[in-house]
Structure 1
Amino acid sequence: MSRRNSIALCWALVVCLLLGHNAYLWLGKRIVPDTDIMALLPVQKRDPVLQQSFTHMVDAAQQRVIVLLGAKDWTDAKRAADAYSAVLSTKAELLTTTQLTDQTQNDWLAKFQEHSLILLSSEQESQLKTQSPQFWLDSALRNLYSPFSGPKLGAWRDDPFGLFTGWVQERAQETPVRPRDGYLFVANAERQYVLLSLTLKDSVFAMGVQQSVMALLKQANEAAHKTAPDAEIITAGVILHAAAAGEQASNEVFTIGLGSMLGIILLMWVTFHSLKPILLILLSIAIGCLGSLSICWILFERIHLLTLVFGASLIGVAQDYGIYFLCNRLSADAKLSSEALLKRLLPSLSLTLLAAVIGYMGLAFTPFPGLRYMAVFSALGLVFAWLTVICWFPLLISGGTLKSGALVRAYGNTLTRWPRLKANKITIFIGLIFVLFAAFGVARLGVNDDIRLLQNPPQHLIADQIKLSKLLDAPTPVQFYLVRGATQEIVLQREEALKKQLDPLIVQHKITGYQALSNWVPSAQTQSVRKALLEEKLLNEGGALTQLAQQLGEDADWVAATRTHLLNSGKLLTLDEFLKTPASEPWRHLWLGKVTDDYASIVALRGLSNVNLPLIQHAGDGLDGVQWVDKVAEISSVLGQYRHYMGWVVMCSYLVVFGLLFVRYRRDTWRVIAPAAIASIATLAILGFFNQHLQLFHVLPLMLLLGIGVDYGIFMQEKASVHHATAWLAIGLSAANTLLSFGLLGLSKTPALQSFGLTMLIGIALVWLIVPFFRKENLHGD
């Protein structure tokens, strides 16, 4: 067996292993691509307390689905909710619903009644310090005799002065949601709503879960509308956005992949008028994809759906090596064996692979796991496609088997009319014009790294989220205060200090309120101070309790018994006790516990707006252990930092590639690399003329533009081509396919991929047009 046959056989065995592994993954293991968009966000070596605080807030939100069913009539709203819940109850393994019963409310209050004496509202604490005993006497008598004095929580003797009742009412103000007829109720001026809080049992980013839950919610919606046709249904939850993004990405994988494939087939048919070259190119691409999937799964144990979307554009690049070989096979002497031709082409094919891999692997320098997956996936795909060309193409196609048509000859003839760069006045004039164009365009290029520009959820989901947030007055999970200290007590004390600085902002209507664990469990210091204050102002001899007994005609024994009874409900409440109660469930995400050497908690703000954000974020200035966390601003800042960083990486990559190419091309190296450099600058200028805001996802494509642009420069400068027309045909076919794949990526509804694709679309088109200017004079003619 010849050496060439042995190499081909070994590669056949590798391909069989890839086929078997892919069959195992998709048919046996039944892997499902990950749809977690958070994989695109940066991972930093950062404060673990900060990281856990954000994770807590996100995790608390992402497994929940909130549904509001509203109608003008409360009865209709209840009927719609009953129909909706009935459908959900058939799939209890997917979703659980929080049930509200009288026992639930009793359990909620039971633990607090054991500590009711020292649970005061901030207003009551102030009144204890300033009001006379007569004020409290009047309050107690009003609570006893007036039927309209407010809700009664237990017997009058348990809370004669209404202090615990006032604290419960203040806690109720943390949300507009109220119990009503066994439902959770909220309303605006137009409708009354039943609130259903649903909890997912499985990951929201599993595509199977998304499909099942979305189908179930759709069925529940239909049942509710059938029962109450005029009902309004508002639904919000991370799974809705994840499912929409997953469906969109799946469609784009199909569209981009199919569009690229059809483009390749059409162009190859027009070029060669033969099915064999088409099958060979498709074979190299298919093996590239198989290899990428297998190795990426082995390395990362996951495949992200957006990786597949981006990987679909790989089709437009992986075919370069096969096209280059086929074009040279077409123009080479029929007597020259394909193995000899490959030997002649191998240096240039190796350099093109190396340049492209450098371009893709530049993405691996980013802090985004999702982009790293994309970079590794694409680079591996190129390597496997290249190996397929090297190992199989010389055996599968021989000299004289390829024929070209009139269209190919017509395209080749365009090169004879294409000007060539020369050292003359015209070149200097064009250069000056380009410098002015580039300078003016780049100067107009704005910069905006706001992460929100990379989001594009469906408008109906945004509308529902906004309306639900207004109705529920819910805090944002990405902007909050982080409070930490050496002990739980210090954390609670620091929360209380922060709240004193936030209270004026509520009065000024800058925020509507805050959620904090110290609302429910005051610090031990505060509880002790309040207990002493209560004893001094209300329970001691001569205080309001004594005067109340005189007013009611009770004796000293009654006073002593009542005082003892109240003091028994004045033992300190601890945070650990509270976190074990049913009432703590909605607030547990605010407590981080001990992280590294400190304890930490979160104070979440309600009614926060971007207009007031500069004022809010400085409210905690000067307080020990208090830190403002703004995940949106943080990620946007990281995007800006890495935009600068990747700009330097791109420039350094040009130097590295120049050094690699110089070994082969010497003084002509600049001709290889100049088209990519000029196209990159022109692309940025064009984006500036169209008033685009420069983002990281405009800079990252410049790495790929370097790799692909250098490929075209190598094709045009390589001496292995009999004449420039062969290289020009290979560049034309490659560029057309790459334009198609990245052009389709530019149509993506995922903004990051759209920016990436648009930049590549402009850049590749420019490289295609610029490369011929830098060709050397050919003794054989163009």
Structure 2
Amino acid sequence: MTSRTRLGLALLWLAALLLAGWAVSRTLELSGDLRKFMPAPQTPAQTLLIDELGEGPGSRLLLVALEGDSPETLAGISRAMRASLSADEAFALVANGGDAGLGAIPETLRPYRYLLSPTLDTQRFDVAMLREALDQRVQDLGSPAATLIEPLLPSDPTLETLAVAESLQPAGAPQQLHGVWFDRAGQRALLALETRAAGFDPTGQAAAVAAVHAAFDAARGAGPATLAMTGPGAFSVEIGARTQREASLIGTVDSIVFALLLMLAYRSWRAPLLGALPLATGGLAGLAAVALAFDGVHGITLAFGFTLIGVAQDYPIHLFSHIRPGVSPRDSVRGLWRTLATGVVATCIAYLTFLVSGVEGLEQLAVFTIVGLGTAGLATRFALPALIVPGQWNPIATPGLATAWRAIDRLPRLPATAALALAAVAIAVATLAPGRFWENDLSRLTPVPAPAMALDTQLRRELGAPDVRYVIAIDAADAEAALQAGEALQPQLDQLRVAGALDGFDLASRYLPSAATQRARQQRLPGDNELKMSLAAALADSPFVADAFEPFVADVAAARQAEPLGVEDLAGTPLATGVDGLLIQRHGTTTALVSLTGLHDAGAVARVAEQHGGQLLDLKQASESLVAEYRGRVLGALALAAVLLALTVLASLRSVRRTLRVLAPMALTTVLVLAALRALGVELNLFHLVALILGAGLGLDYALFFDHAGDDRDEQLRTLHAVIVCSAITFAVFALLAASSIPVLRAIGGTVALAVVCNFVLALLVTRRPVTAYAHGGADQP
């Protein structure tokens, strides 16, 4: 086969990968639901947290601040944005304070105003009340509010519509200037938006954020006003864009480094092309396997999966470095296959443990990695040798390699006692270093800049948004029981607010009274004759004509006969937003939530909640306990993986001594990296664990090939060349990640870069054997 034919086959392979990648991407369904990477919740707080992470109103909330122009101009921009965004299907709610009044209650619900209003809890439509109301309306008609009041008078002389609208305004709503919400300083116009897209839907959140910016640009025109936006959706869009930019830059630089190092190492432009083919094939096969086995592929699976199968880039490099003059590439890879296959199988068996973790995200990661590594190994063994021109390069003749080998050969061996002592010191440092060993607070992993977080806190305070940490939950058999429980709890919460235990609260029964309360209000509505007589008496000395209020009598009669409103009757109305966020119905039960603002005495609130069958839930504590349980699952899987990996290596090498010599660098590197991180004050998180897994795979790879080289000088030279190239490329890639501004990338990059150095040095000092003067072919000798 000619060199040109081999190149043509390589390009054909590449074209097939591009075509297959295009086909997979056409059917690929990406998921951003973080719940797939969480264990099943065990407590009510954990259950609520998991629900809120994905679909709760808190995860859908966007807070907007307009500033930089006069208050009057900002108010106009706010009104224009509300009008534009309210017509956008991407939003379930657009509130800026301008919806107070009639806009708060849709026309279809206005006949029910007497069932929604608390007025009839303490008053009746008797002569005295009606006369007082009519006298007040006379005064209102002479005021600037006349244009608002006059259309309501015939059907609503007591202005119950406005009373209901006022009661339905968010608890702790900000001040109004020029008809819209403003901050306390009167310099920022404020809006609160709720998206229809779930919090874990990055595409939907990105579309909503883009719609807000478009509405602002259209409303602002050429003015100097500026927009600031916070909230989970805004943060996720910003983080996603920044991560994509950094990942794209790092990926480009990594590709250049990979190509340059391979060309430098093998003095051939073909090496980067041939070296990338098995890795790309493995990645595509892993992706296709996950797409076939699961409903959707999680974005984290892709990110971590491609990171973990990065060890597969070493497979073709080992083949390239072990090419021998006069020996065909197929014979060269045949001699390497036992060692290469041991590394592949051991790593794949280790990841099999993730399949029993009970966490779908880890199961996806296991399938992706196992299929990807296995495919890359098989591609290196059976497909790649046919594309290599025999005698194309001889890595053993690389300038400076023999000099480096002689210097390394003079290094002292690391005795077993010294290795054990070093491990003991590292374990002591990792255990005794000050500070927490594990980081459970998810908020500390966020790459959102501190100024953005501070603005979010400020806007939440200005808008009276509820505390995102504490919430009261009351479980009930159905929605009616949940609403009644909320109504029973409300008076005591009012007392706690007056006492200073909390600043405010919100609950579903504010927006939708229970059916029992609605029926009680119906009972207080007068009959037609009674109402007409009372109205006639009230009109006796009034300037209003006697028949002006026939619509009012008709509405009262309709309300008296109406069926009480239920949750399903609010669908498609602004009231549904408040109720849906505070009344969770699932699995045949209903949970009434009470959101809290400014909690100062958690103990007092908890005691009141317990008296009414509820619980004060700490969602921060719930998130930390869930992270701890998740980490426990991962650590358990890793412990089992370590045992299976050791057994696999032992089965391949058939020597306990050789097995210990191969596993020692990997194990010692793990504890040394842990000690270094802890000594630097790093609190470990899940991403460090993922990085340690990858570091262990690299260490196993280096040690297996040094063991394969035995005490043969030429084999050691070839192995040294391969490991230098592998470790240089890996170190460069992860050193770049360590410089990222994204905490996840930084944690993985720094950990793996450190592990690469430790694994390389320890493989030389522990696994590599001394060379005897006339030793040859000692690769597989015990």
* TM-score bracket, shorter-length normalisation: 0.7 to 0.9
Q: Using a 3 Å threshold, how does the CA distance of structure 1 residues 754 and 263 change in structure 2: closer, same or farther?
A: same
SS at match of 1:329: coil
- For the 8 Å contact 1:482–1:627, the answer to whether it is kept is yes
Q: Is the 8 A contact 2:734 2:753 kept in 1?
A: yes
Kindly state the Cα deviation for residue 371 of structure 1 after the two structures are TM-superposed: 5.2
Q: Residue 235 of structure 1 corresponds to which residue in structure 2?
A: 229
For 2:279, the equivalent position in structure 1 comes to 285
Query: For residues 601-640 of structure 1, what are the structure 2 equivalents within 5 Å?
Result: 601-608=591-598, 616=605, 619-624=608-613, 626-640=614-628
Identify which of 667, 670, 675 aligns with 1:685: 675
Q: What secondary structure, in the 3-state scheme, does the structure 1 residue paired with 2:421 have? A: helix
Q: From 427, 437, 453, give the equivalent of 1:438.
A: 427
Give the whole-Å Cα distance in 1 for the aligned partners of 2:271 and 2:557. Answer: 91
Question: Is the Cα contact below 8 Å between 2:62 and 2:231 reproduced in 1?
Answer: yes
Q: What is the distance in 1 between the residues matched to 2:22 and 2:539?
A: 88
Alpha-carbon separation, structure 2, partners of 1:169 and 1:448: 45
Structure 1 residues 657-668: aligned runs within 5 Å = 657-663=645-651, 664-668=653-657
Q: CA deviation at 1:452?
A: 1.2
Q: Give deviations 1:138-195, integer Å, cap 9, x for gaps.
A: 98798578769999799899889998876654433625268887x6434422325264
Q: Counterpart in 1 of 2:22?
A: 23
Q: Secondary structure at the match of 1:188?
A: coil
Counterpart for residue 323 of structure 1: 317
Alignment counterpart, residue 58 of structure 1, candidates 41, 55, 58:
55
Match of 1:704 among 686, 691, 694: 694
CA distance in 1, matches of 2:239, 2:305: 17
State how 1:708-719 maps to structure 2 within 5 Å.
708-719=698-709
Q: Is the 8 A contact 1:268 1:278 kept in 2?
A: yes
1:522 aligns with 2:513: yes
1:76 aligns with 2:73: yes
Whether the aligned pair in 1 keeps the contact of 2:426 and 2:675 (CA below 8 Å) is yes
Are 1:398 and 2:385 counterparts? no
User: 2:756 aligned with 1:758, yes or no?
Assistant: no
Distance 1:296 1:618 in 2: 48
Letter in 1 for 2:171: E
Paired residue for 1:263?
257
Displacement, 1:531?
A: 6.8
Distance 2:624 2:199 in 1: 27
Three-state SS of the structure 2 residue aligned to 1:457 is coil
State the shift of 1:416 in Å: 0.9
**Contact map agreement 2:301 2:365 (CA 8 A) in 1:** yes
8 Å CA contact 2:440–2:624 kept in 1: the answer is yes
Q: Give the secondary-structure state (helix, strand or coil) at the position aligned to 2:471.
A: strand
AA partner of residue 380 (structure 1): V
Distance 1:37 1:302, change over 3 A: closer
Aligned length: 746
Alpha-carbon displacement from aligned partner over 1:725-745 (angstroms, at most 9, x marks no partner): 332332222222222223333
User: 1:482-528, CA deviations, whole angstroms, 9 ceiling, x for partnerless residues?
Assistant: 33322333222222233344333322444332222212333344455
| Aligned partner letter, 1:407 | G
What does residue range 232-631 of structure 1 map to in structure 2 within 5 Å? 232-300=226-294, 302-310=296-304, 313=307, 316-330=310-324, 334-361=325-352, 369-370=360-361, 372-395=363-386, 396-399=388-391, 401-403=393-395, 404-422=397-415, 427-428=417-418, 431-432=420-421, 434-444=423-433, 446=436, 447-459=438-450, 461-475=452-466, 479-527=470-518, 573-576=564-567, 579-580=570-571, 582-590=573-581, 595-598=586-589, 600-608=590-598, 616=605, 619-624=608-613, 626-631=614-619
Q: For residue 5 of structure 1, what is the aligned residue in structure 2?
A: none
Q: Is residue 2:138 matched to residue 1:108?
A: no
**Alpha-carbon distance between aligned partners in 1 of 2:157 and 2:254, rounded to the nearest angstrom:** 78
Q: Determine the C-alpha separation between the residues in 2 that align with 1:758 and 1:153.
A: 70
TM-score, scaled to structure 1: 0.79
Contact 2:82 2:95 in 1 (8 A): no
Counterpart of 1:709 in structure 2: which amino acid?
G
Q: How many Å separate the matches in 1 of 2:688 and 2:50? A: 31
Q: 1:15 to 1:112 in 2, by over 3 A?
A: closer
CA distance change for structure 1 residues 508 and 781 in 2, over 3 Å: closer, same or farther? farther
Match of 1:743 among 732, 735, 738: 735
Query: By how many angstroms is 1:455 displaced?
Result: 1.6
Is the 2:32–2:201 Cα contact (8 Å) retained in structure 1?
Answer: yes
| Inter-CA distance 194–431: structure 2 relative to 1 (3 Å threshold) | closer
What is the CA deviation profile of residues 451-490 of structure 1, one whole-angstrom value per residue up to 9, with x for unaligned ones? 2122222445434433332222123567533333223332
Question: What is aligned with 1:188?
Answer: 184
1:345-382 superposed Cα distances (whole Å, 9 cap, x missing partner):
11101011123334555555656655554454344332
Shift of 1:587: 1.7
Whether the 8 Å CA contact 1:260–1:315 is kept in 2: the answer is no
Aligned to 2:778: none
Query: Equivalents in 2 of 1:781, 1:612: separation in Å?
Result: 81
Match of 2:4 in 1: none
Instruction: Tell me: CA distance 1:74–1:14, structure 2 relative to 1, closer, same or farther (3 Å).
Output: closer
Q: Single out whichever of 638-647 and 313-322 deviates more from structure 2.
A: 313-322
CA, structure 1 residues 50+298, in 2 after alignment: closer, same or farther (shift >3 Å)? Answer: same
Identical aligned residues as a percent: 21
Which letter does structure 1 place at the counterpart of 2:405? Answer: G
Match of 2:634 in 1: 646
In the TM superposition, what whole-angstrom CA distance separates every residue of 1:220-274 from its partner, at most 9, and x where no partner exists?
5455555442x34232454422322222232233233233333333333333223
Q: 1:387 to 1:563 in 2, by over 3 A?
A: closer
The match for 1:38 among 9, 14, 34 is 34
The match for 1:171 is 168
Letter in 1 for 2:189: Y
Instruction: Return the alpha-carbon distance in structure 1 between the equivalents of residues 598 and 654 of structure 2.
Output: 61
Assess, with a 3 A threshold, how the Cα gap between structure 1 residues 633 and 300 changes in structure 2: closer, same or farther. same
Residue pair 2:131, 2:538 contacting (<8 A) in 1 also: no
Tell me how far 1:673 sits from its aligned partner.
0.6
Aligned-residue offset at 1:588: 3.8
Retained in 2: the 8 A contact 1:501–1:619?
yes
**TM-score under structure 2 length normalisation:** 0.79
Residue ranges of structure 1 left out of the alignment (5+ in a row)? 2-7
Q: Given that residues 646 and 700 in structure 1 are in contact (C-alpha distance below 8 angstroms), is that contact kept between their aligned partners in structure 2? A: no
Task: Give me the whole-angstrom Cα distance separating, in 2, the residues matched to 1:766 and 1:394.
Answer: 31
RMSD: 5.0
Amino acid at match of 1:644: G
Q: Which runs of 5+ in 2 are unaligned?
A: 2-6, 776-782
3-state DSSP of counterpart to 2:168: helix
Q: 1:614 to 1:295 in 2, by over 3 A?
A: farther
Task: Write the deviation string for residues 310-334 of structure 1: whole angstroms up to 9, x where unpaired.
Answer: 455457422211122222225xxx3
Q: Report if aligned partners of 1:501, 1:620 keep a CA contact under 8 Å in 2.
A: no
Distance 2:499 2:587 in 1: 38
Instruction: Tell me, in whole angstroms, the C-alpha distance in 2 between the residues paired with 1:448 and 1:593.
Output: 31
CA deviations over 1:587-611 (Å, ceiling 9, x no partner): 242365753332x1442414246x7
Decide whether aligned partners of structure 1 residues 152 and 303 sit closer, same or farther in structure 2, where only a CA change above 3 A counts: same
Q: State whether structure 2 residue 763 is matched by structure 1 residue 779.
A: no
Q: Distance in 1 between matches of 2:510 and 2:622?
A: 28
Please state how far the C-alpha of 1:339 moved relative to its aligned partner. Answer: 2.8
Counterpart selection for 1:725 from 713, 717, 724:
717
Provide closer, same or farther for how the CA distance between residues 96 and 617 of structure 1 changes in structure 2, counting only shifts above 3 A: closer
Structure 2 residue aligned with 1:4: none
SS of 1:607's partner is: strand
